[in-house]
Structure 1
């Protein structure tokens, strides 16, 4: 099919469900995308425009979205992969379309400390985009579906990586959005690359028995159809085989062969109203023997994604079990298309989706605040993928929780105050332990007390839902700050000891800021508190600090060699008082007896050539050069315990830099035009100014701090003399210490 024919097919599909769509806009988007991608090719060798066209076709055919979504699907790669930008798309089409395109564009790659951090940030961005406009994720899922359909052109490594990401992120999101058909296809395509042998085995076995299975499905379908016609119940019925991944999961989880799998076949009966759903259920149970414990009423208790249906598994006359799903037309639309089925498109305006129905997106974001990356991704998979269990309050209200949920999850689902005051629980009027696993239909009563001490730290391990874990974390964060800091410090120090790292290295004031940056906390107490309430782990903290500590350890070795060399030089000079050998300078500084030494100028006194200077061997940053009159280099400081061997002679070399930054403080009697006179003095002495700060005092004085670049002390002296000559200037000094 040519590109032109593919576009015509897209227009035909859109006309089929939305004849009032903005076809001029869709055509313009196609032409713009075709031109923007004209020099690009896909891995298959096809022109790149094939991909946006295919994505738009999925958006139209599978999801039936509005014309803005079709245009955005056609344009979804232009901002990222071509010179086109947001402003251009916004001007040519609309800000809404530009927002959709930007939201769908592949997430920016950022360097994260771990793969989990990167995945968490990408998921967060995706969820934020979903909460703003659900169409962003619908188009993104269509984009991923077409990429999976054409995955054979990628390298085996890329196939596995993308398939795993699809299975872990895109299929669960499709499930939560109720888009079952797309979810099944994404799972099957992912399985094909993640376990090609398992996939082929299932497909080949299904193909081998296809005739036998199809004959069984025809007979069963005819039986149900005839009985419903006799009872004059209007209906549509069709059967289907379970899709390969669904079979694979059951075989893997239940350790069964294909022949042992229950409900390999499923029949759908679509009727006019809810009353007919229950009538049909009676007919099915009359025709076939129902299997105990295999009936689910999702009409009375819908799934969180809006799914409603009656499910029952029965035994056929041939001894083959099969599932029957009974639903109304509206329920069927929601089951097939999910959120897209609710979509209402408006002529000439932005589509209005049902974001309100998908409040769970915002809850997912809120529940993860304070969680670390690994916990975030784990919770997300539980929230999105886990089967639900429906339980009741004593008043008969339904609560849906993830499978495996406990009374702790139930209590926090009611309210955080109920969870925090919980002292026990009853299930079906019997007292149970807090780790009791709830089952469908359980009636749960939470026992509370005003004198309750609050949640236990063990509850974090018992709770299954991210909502409960988040609320427990928040309680510990708020109520037990001192205890958290103490527990966090203890865990951190134990982990340091386990890794053979002395605590003094972490506490070194020169190293600590770099370490805190690695763990993204402002202070050690903040980090301890996070470890204490479970938002971070001691293992992760030490692991992230280890690189910086290793770097510092190597520098310590170099510094030790530096100190030894300095001592050896002093001893040699004592024996032979000849002029010391001059070594090559670094930034205009000669460190006596040492070569290739890292040098930095201290910010406390900002020395310039001509100043009397002294060097201090730092931990991790080479030799720090101070002015001899700097309070931080006073004789008292130099004689402190452990400091003596770290002070070293340094001098200015002949190859100094062109200029050095330094700081002046000017104290003046405040008056009009003062800043103008100071600026004139700086200009007349050809001084390069880095910055000026000024402040006035209550007694009408003005204090200026001027950062300048200076060649040497002679130029500095001339500048200070010039500033002294200004009317009202009382004092010009060089701050230090």
Structure 2
């Protein structure tokens, strides 16, 4: 563990003007506050924040970040408050500590929820100050280094999975490859211990048989470049076990078939020498087609710059080579942390683009599951490059389509997409893009995102925006239907309903806008009488209720007295249908229509002949109704339901396929005659393309 004076000296080495007194206060404060607390390893707890601060000094970060690293657990794990931190260390440090603390207050949440909430808070905090992320990544890296001290296998694997799925990809997206690789390696050891041991053992065997081969290849590369007049540094290394295992899994090959286990790095003096070095290597050894990538002219979204190539060395050995300048190497290994000037509070250039997309995903995701899905899509996949007709460059995941491209350019452009051209040719919207494609998006002013796009888009931003638009459209249509029903409800109250009465009703119903009320009515989330009572309190006292057939008495003949029954949800029998019962030992009798598809497919149960009683009335009927996708059709359907005195129990949009929209609707009906009357009215309507009973 770093001693107090050692930590301060580290900071002073790269920042002679650092506030030594503040750093000393932060060190002493964390030691005092954590006191006798210990970690799973048995070490004093304060050793953890001190080591995290040490990691931040390796990145040469500013004094506020070092202080934040020292203090990052005090608010969460001791009696210290953010107000205490602010009074002693200032507003900037308090804000950073608060940002890191918020990311840690979710350990008791269910795993998926916790991961989603962690991600949400992560992204929002990052948008305000990237240093919050840098401290959190240092915190996670040190925790992973000491993970083996935790006794619970389940807890170790949970932390390792979270690291692999969230923290390592985020480290990659901010260009901190050293952190990413170490996190992946440590997580891999916990998640796949057998695979880790096997690959590690094979690498040890290769090393023993190597006979200095890595050094020999590195020397050969350096000599070839020196003969061409290039001054370079060359180093060789094995790929780490997780990288090898992932390649084995992706290519479905054995360890022996992974031929590019060795990788070499060439460090040049300037950018021009990178391309000269590549030319020398390609003329000295055979170049493997399809394996060259130029990340210098087109950097990755995290700012990574390098040339990547693969060569066939002697004895048919494949080797990977990365070529970069010293400055590129520094920025590549530590990403935005290397960009951060400790005397300058500006955010690093390039941070905003991909981070803006992630923040938009946070805003548009519907729930925890969606947020995780969309964000993982945004931070994981390999990239391709595509251009607008004016030459603007956009990076997208492999498999991206013109729709993904449109949303990458701007959310509004994505929403208005009606067609696309790739390299001047009209193509279907589901066409995958290739590297270097020029994509022209054709838009329509009245266009809107289509549900069918979810079948082929691959970016998190596109999926989040499409789902949000579809939800909003469905909500608007249900609200239109609710408005029609509301107008009918208003005719039943004994007073004229104006803006004042409607505003008071919204307040009584704890709703903010008229749209909320119309949606609640259309979605059958509120009863007519509740709306009437909210509009004119006391007006429903002497008004008979609209029939609720579901509350009517059902009687069925053919059952032994006292035997319970349920109406099958596969066919929704209603009084007047021919019915039959199925009985399994120890279960209630299930009542089906005689032509139910479930019965036709065979049910392992005893059959019972049943009939409705003479006074049987009231059940739930289910319809599938396909409407023309144009304004007013949903409201017209609602009017038909109101005229036929039936309550809508539930309404769900099941298909959106221009120019039609299909809904499944559960209705309270009196009997089969009542249901058929509703079907006839629907089929006679110009708004309805098709209506059938399910």
User: Normalising by the residue count of structure 1, what TM-score does the alignment of the two structures yield?
Assistant: 0.64
1:110–1:281 CA distance, 2 compared to 1 (3 A): closer
Asked if structure 2 preserves the Cα contact closer than 8 Å seen for 1:476 and 1:484, the reply is: no
Shift of 1:481: 5.2
Question: Where do residues 673-712 of structure 1 align in structure 2 (5 Å cutoff)?
Answer: none
| Counterpart selection for 1:285 from 277, 282, 285 | 282
Q: Distance in 1 between matches of 2:401 and 2:546?
A: 60
Asked if structure 1 preserves the Cα contact closer than 8 Å seen for 2:386 and 2:436, the reply is: yes
Asked if structure 1 preserves the Cα contact closer than 8 Å seen for 2:418 and 2:444, the reply is: yes
Pick the structure with greater CA Rg: 1
Shift of 1:22: 2.3
Aligned to 1:75: 71
Asked if structure 2 preserves the Cα contact closer than 8 Å seen for 1:66 and 1:351, the reply is: no
Q: Distance in 1 between matches of 2:450 and 2:540?
A: 52
Asked if structure 2 preserves the Cα contact closer than 8 Å seen for 1:405 and 1:438, the reply is: yes
1:301–1:528 CA distance, 2 compared to 1 (3 A): farther
SS at match of 1:344: coil
Structure 1, 96-105 or 360-369: larger mean CA deviation: 360-369
| Counterpart selection for 1:397 from 392, 404, 409 | 392
1:222–1:438 CA distance, 2 compared to 1 (3 A): same
Shift of 1:110: 8.7
Q: Distance in 2 between matches of 1:422 and 1:632?
A: 50
SS at match of 1:458: helix
Q: Deviations over 1:448-493 (max 9, x none)?
A: 456x7443220123211122234434554666754466899xxxxx
Pairing 1:295–2:292 present: yes
Q: Distance in 2 between matches of 1:183 and 1:68?
A: 24
SS at match of 2:364: coil
Shift of 1:215: 1.9
Pairing 1:149–2:145 present: yes
Shift of 1:249: 0.9
1:356–1:221 CA distance, 2 compared to 1 (3 A): closer
Asked if structure 2 preserves the Cα contact closer than 8 Å seen for 1:388 and 1:403, the reply is: yes
SS at match of 1:285: helix
| Counterpart selection for 1:380 from 368, 375, 398 | 375
Q: Deviations over 1:356-381 (max 9, x none)?
A: 63342232112342322212111101
Q: Distance in 2 between matches of 1:640 and 1:292?
A: 75
Asked if structure 2 preserves the Cα contact closer than 8 Å seen for 1:411 and 1:446, the reply is: yes
1:213–1:525 CA distance, 2 compared to 1 (3 A): farther
| Counterpart selection for 1:13 from 10, 15, 24 | 10
1:70–1:478 CA distance, 2 compared to 1 (3 A): same
Pairing 1:357–2:351 present: yes
Asked if structure 2 preserves the Cα contact closer than 8 Å seen for 1:368 and 1:466, the reply is: no
Q: Distance in 2 between matches of 1:213 and 1:486?
A: 74
SS at match of 1:188: helix
Q: How many residues align?
A: 511
1:640–1:391 CA distance, 2 compared to 1 (3 A): closer
Q: Distance in 1 between matches of 2:548 and 2:50?
A: 72
Asked if structure 2 preserves the Cα contact closer than 8 Å seen for 1:428 and 1:442, the reply is: yes
User: Normalising by the residue count of structure 2, what TM-score does the alignment of the two structures yield?
Assistant: 0.68
Q: Distance in 1 between matches of 2:133 and 2:481?
A: 41
Aligned to 1:215: 212
1:289–1:527 CA distance, 2 compared to 1 (3 A): farther
Aligned to 1:230: 227
Pairing 1:188–2:185 present: yes
1:409–1:38 CA distance, 2 compared to 1 (3 A): same
1:485–1:116 CA distance, 2 compared to 1 (3 A): farther
| RMSD over equivalenced CA pairs, Å | 3.4
Q: Deviations over 1:151-204 (max 9, x none)?
A: 112111110111111111111110100000100000111111111001111111
Shift of 1:523: 5.8
Question: Where do residues 203-352 of structure 1 align in structure 2 (5 Å cutoff)?
Answer: 203-213=200-210, 215-346=212-343, 351-352=345-346
Structure 1, 328-337 or 350-359: larger mean CA deviation: 350-359
Shift of 1:637: 6.8
SS at match of 1:294: coil
Asked if structure 2 preserves the Cα contact closer than 8 Å seen for 1:516 and 1:523, the reply is: no
SS at match of 1:44: coil
Aligned to 1:406: 401
1:331–1:365 CA distance, 2 compared to 1 (3 A): same
Asked if structure 1 preserves the Cα contact closer than 8 Å seen for 2:475 and 2:519, the reply is: no
Shift of 1:394: 3.6
Structure 1, 401-410 or 258-267: larger mean CA deviation: 258-267
Aligned to 1:472: 466
Pairing 1:103–2:99 present: yes
Q: Distance in 2 between matches of 1:115 and 1:185?
A: 23
1:228–1:151 CA distance, 2 compared to 1 (3 A): same
Q: Distance in 2 between matches of 1:156 and 1:404?
A: 37
Q: Distance in 1 between matches of 2:403 and 2:363?
A: 19
Shift of 1:263: 2.4
